[in-house]
Amino acid sequence: MTTPVADFVKRYAEADMSRFHMPGHKGLPMVGCEALDITEVAGADALYEASGIIAESEANATSLFGSGHTFYSTEGSSLCIRAMIFLAVQAWKKRRQDASARPVILAARNAHKAFLYACALTDCDVHWLYPQPEAGSADQGLPADRKSVAAPAAASSICSCPITPAAAETAILEERSRTGTLPVALYVTSPDYLGGSQDLSGLAALCRRYDIPLLVDNAHGAYLKFLDTPSHPMDLGASMCCDSAHKTLPVLTGGAYLHISKDFPLDHISAARQALALFGSTSPSYLILQSLDLCNAKLAGTWPKALAETISLADSLKEKLRALGYTVANTEPLKITIFTRGDDLADALRPYKVECEHSDNESCIFMFTPENSPRDFDRLFSALAELAPVFLKNTHASPITDDHSAPSCNGLAPHSTPSCNGLAPHCSCSKEDYVPVFLPVPASLSIRDAVFSPSEAVSPEDALGRICAAPVVSCPPAIPIAVSGEVITENTVKLFRHYGIDTVRVIL
């Protein structure tokens, strides 16, 4: 497969040009990549008006992903999410019958804050869908050969929000009854941060029945297209989705895709470029563009075979960890999520030269790609095997602090967990003391009005009864404890304390 962007920049760097243009380093070395860091010189094309080498490279990506069109982003999936919401709202405005109706998106609550800010920028309301244990396993979006017979429901985690098509249909009908119009779209995150996947095929069929678009934050799942049985949102019926290529593919940080299906109603190429330009920087990184371009060649080559080998190694590692006694989630293939005192485990692993993707007081997450060597797998297993006696024993102490005298937190200490059984650092509570519950809270203001209102930072206790200005999330993407415009309740304050949130922005 051709790599037109990378080839052009390489030729330019080797041409010994006198650079009377940006960037200011003029190609002179500081960190080593400057010669390849250029701007829109003649022949370099322009990302938001692509008609040359960038358009050719995007066409290659479009072919690889089987989309109607795949667009590049050098500002991650955050830019793509803003563009998706804008495009969906524009399409909804064309088909609405009541010009006074406000746009409303149905969204699973575990949305990245980029989604919330996109709704603020487009003045779109959100009808939230909350976690449903009856949604079943956390691997709904995976091909049959990747699903686990006993995958646990993920509804108890702050990062997961399993939604059934039946629940989504109920919400669609509620909105139609309440407003007289259908919602703008259904928006879900799949896979989520822990690796759980939604039933995208079922949700897509529902959306087709009601003629509303399905939008998917697939930031953690770009590689799903290249499984033996593809399970990418574009394969499962999504109207639009974003991929953070840099998360699971060999791409520099910030490299992402906006995929638009062949069935999306707008003149999607010109409209999508307008949306990306509206919210994006006028100085896109050519280093990131080159990495997206070069990635196409890898994906068209041996990378899918290497992916299958990596998944096999990850599957084997999961089984070995379970044999040691670790509680390992059934998740999408390139993640291992261990439910334990995650922050302590992350600290304990660093002397072994192991760094995880994310940790909190409930879990530790490890992400793999074909760029991880077999030595990486061996190092992780050896470290976890050595640490197993510490992290599998039933003790009230943190292995780092060894604090046996901590009082019960009554569910309000930042380090408590809903299932800690007294294992959380500095906490001697049992899981019966406090179980976090995410209760729907009516919005008092629109997200836009709340985000753009004057605000101040206060403690969770002082926020009680006031209106949230900035969304509060313990880790993105996760279920926001409070969303802009919502009134902060006693339950919200408990959740703040439970998840270690010390400051909240509220409207003045």
343-352 pLDDT tens trace: 999 999 999 9
pLDDT category at 340 given cuts 50, 70, 90 is very high
Please name the helix (run of DSSP H) or strand (run of DSSP E) that holds residue 9, with its range, or none.
helix 4-14
Give the chain's domains with CATH numbers: 68-300 (3.40.640.10), 303-392 (3.90.1150.10), 447-507 (3.90.105.10)
Give buried/exposed letters for 269-284 (b at 16+ CB in 10 A, else e).
eebbbbbbeebbeeeb
What pLDDT sits at residue 199? 96
- Looking at the predicted structure, is the pLDDT value of residue 419 above 80? no
- Where are the extended beta strands (E) located within 301-369? 335-339, 358-359, 363-367
> Is the Cβ–Cβ distance between 451 and 469 less than 8 Å?
yes
Compute the average pLDDT of residues 95-103.
Answer: 87
Strands 104-108 and 335-339: unpaired
Q: Decide: helix, strand or coil at residue 50.
A: coil
DSSP character string of 450-489: HHTS-EEEE-HHHHTTSBB-S-B-SSSSS--SB-TTBBP-
Compute the average pLDDT of residues 462-486.
Answer: 89
* CA 501 to chain CA mean position, Å: 21
What pLDDT sits at residue 465? 95
- Between 308 and 28, whose confidence is greater? 308
**Tens of pLDDT, residues 284-304:** 999 999 999 999 999 999 999
Distances 278 to 48, 261, 285, 413 between C-alpha atoms, Å: 10, 21, 17, 43
- Looking at the predicted structure, is the pLDDT value of residue 139 above 90? no
- Looking at the predicted structure, is the pLDDT value of residue 154 above 50? no
> Is the Cβ–Cβ distance between 196 and 162 less than 8 Å?
yes
- Looking at the predicted structure, is the pLDDT value of residue 428 above 60? no
H helix count then E strand count, the chain? 16, 12
The pair of structure tokens assigned to 187 is 């928006």
Compute the average pLDDT of residues 200-222.
Answer: 97
Compute the average pLDDT of residues 429-440.
Answer: 63
Distances 390 to 128, 385, 393, 399, 490 between C-alpha atoms, Å: 40, 10, 6, 7, 36
Residue count (the chain): 508
Compute the average pLDDT of residues 410-418.
Answer: 32
> Is the Cβ–Cβ distance between 490 and 445 less than 8 Å?
no
What pLDDT sits at residue 135? 57
Percent of the chain scored above 70 by pLDDT? 86
Percent of the chain scored above 90 by pLDDT? 71
What pLDDT sits at residue 23? 87
Strands 358-359 and 363-367: antiparallel
Stated pTM of the model: 0.87
DSSP character string of 188-226: EESS-TTS-B--HHHHHHHHHHHT--EEEE-TT-GGGGG
**Tens of pLDDT, residues 374-413:** 999 999 999 999 999 999 864 333 333 333 222 233 332 2
What pLDDT sits at residue 434? 63
Averaged confidence pLDDT in the chain: 86
